[in-house]
Amino acid sequence: MSLRVALLPCALIAALASPAYAAETAPAKQPELTHLTLQTGVPRTPEQEAVVFELADLKFKVDPARKHLDGDATLTFRATKPVNALVVDFDRNYKIASVEVDGTKVADWKNPEGRMTIPLAKPLATGDKAVLRIVYDGFPHVAERAPWDGGFVWAKAPTGEPWIASAIQGNGCDLFWPCIDHPMAEPEVVDQYVTVPAPLVSAGNGVLVGMDEKDGWRTYHWRTKNPDTYAISLNIGPYELLSADYKSRYGNTIPLRFWHLKGNEAKAKGLFAEFAPMLDFFEEVIGPYPFADEKMGVVETPHLGMEHQTINAYGNEYKKSEYGYDWLLEHEFAHEWFGNQLTNKDWDDMWLHEGYGTYMQPLYMQWLRGDMEYKANLMKQRATLANKHPIVAGRPMLEADVYSDEKGPGHDIYYKASLVLDTFRHLIGDKQFFDVTRQAVYGRTDPRPGNFKPLYANTPDYIAAVKKVTGKDYQWFFDVYLYQPALPELVAAREGDTLKLEWKTGGKPFPMPVEVRVGDQVQTVAMANGQGSLPIKADESFTLDPNSKVLRQLPHIDAFQQDKSDREKAEARKKAAAG
């Protein structure tokens, strides 16, 4: 059955066909981005905080031959308090054809630094709505190291056709559409109309409303609800589609969709076979798939990957890990819960995305194959920790600083946070740990399809969820593991027939119980005041934390990391001298 959707406005189509547009080609050198456009998560202005983003109606025409984008963005805002202007973030390198508010052209808008201010002829009162329309065109910023930096990737498929993807987490949504570039500025609904040269395919967020083909161009209409702004993506290529339906344990049916490149069908079918068990794992262990009424979608991309809501980018080239599964697919899919359903209030809280997303890999291995691969995966993570910056700074942070190993926690928001979660799971037990997780993700411990909505949360919200579920105050745990860089150190000393234990945490309370093997017996020491003891005979050996339940400072790991660093530096000097 052929579905019809609206095409781009006639005036815009006429402009796109003009000789001036046809002759224009991408600049030899990319224009520089302003600080505001380069960064994502800059604190919102009062005007941005005073509105709810109800609808983003986004029309894109993507011309691969010129690496050019024509856009027509219609944004609906509702005021939560009186406001005199609309403020959106938008790369100033685009040419603005027109700006309108409620159908009336606005001439006195300003965009000096990538934060566009549009004065209102009449201030909005609380509850009033305004519709902002911006028509623009230009050459989107190109990502040189996607997905680690933001921008477009203009590539060629192995079969020669254009292969295009946006990957903007590193710099934000304002790289290709006017938005409020902050985690707490999700639109409630997004309609995307993506026009591409036929027979290319556009795989998008949410549900495909329809596709129209005319004059050698195809327009795909996609609709989704409550997406992260950086999750709104363009994915264009010579795609073929694998489809199936998943019968959920909750009684609903979830569409499974994988857009893969031509020529990759055999490999794609192998990866597609992993969709259902991964979905089953998450629904059993965490809870209902949050976007079941849209789809579980994946698209093959010319960059490694990104958690684009309901259309996760996949570029791992069908590689299996040593554990026999595709870790990238699983990690990005985890973000549907930890990132898209539960969204960070600030980039400082990104461990809620990346730490939980990373912990899902060893958990999946434990669920799928047992403890050996679970512990092996955790040990691999343990060897990577830097412990130079706290996981949580306790203040607003920019995305670039959080992901930087020099300025912020960097990789520790993945691996250290994962191990913190594992330690906490052992501390409070599986029942409470997964109830805490559900409380944080869904706002309740009994989620079912239809009884929850997407949430924002920060680290204090997570700690509050812990207290609500457990009835206990675990602030001491998070103070040591999240808010300071150094790991707790467990010091053990024999004194006669007693083994004395003490936690060293820089003076912070840390009543973390610890298991100790003495002889052939494993005992739990309470450590109520950060100290404890147990009897030991002169000829008895002991092992601290024999089941590796507690994340702590380990001298042999420190020695390994130092040796590895020294060898890498020596090798680099050797290569530099030879070159």
- Concatenated DSSP letters of 474-541: -HHHHHHHTSSSSPPEEEEEEETTEEEEEEESTT------EEEEETTEEEEE--TTSEEEEE--TT--
- Give residue for tokens 């309901």: 310
Closest CA to 300 of 408, 201, 195, 186: 201
Copy the structure tokens of residue 33.
Answer: 């981005």
3-state secondary structure 100-139: EECCEECCCCECCCCEEEEEEEEEECCCCEEEEEEEEEEC
User: Cα(534)–Cα(499) distance, rounded to whole angstroms?
Assistant: 5
Which amino acid would we find at residue 367? W
Rg (CA), the chain: 26
Q: Is the dihedral of CA 442, 413, 148, 315 positive or negative?
A: negative
CA 17 → CA 7, 24, 136, 290, distances in Å? 15, 12, 15, 42
- Binding site annotation covers 335? yes
User: Cα(163)–Cα(155) distance, rounded to whole angstroms?
Assistant: 5
User: Cα(169)–Cα(400) distance, rounded to whole angstroms?
Assistant: 10
User: Cα(4)–Cα(430) distance, rounded to whole angstroms?
Assistant: 50
- Binding site annotation covers 332? no
- Binding site annotation covers 303? no
Q: Report helix, strand or coil for 333.
A: helix
**CB-based contacts of 424, cutoff 8 Å, min separation 6:** 433, 474, 477
- Give residue for tokens 């450590």: 527
User: Cα(257)–Cα(311) distance, rounded to whole angstroms?
Assistant: 9
Contact 75, 132 (CB under 8 A): yes
Copy the structure tokens of residue 260.
Answer: 């893969």
CA 248 → CA 283, 288, 474, distances in Å? 8, 8, 35
At 523, give phi and psi (nearest 5°).
-120, 150
Residues annotated within a binding site for Zn(2+) = 331, 335, 354
Residues annotated within a binding site = 331, 335, 354
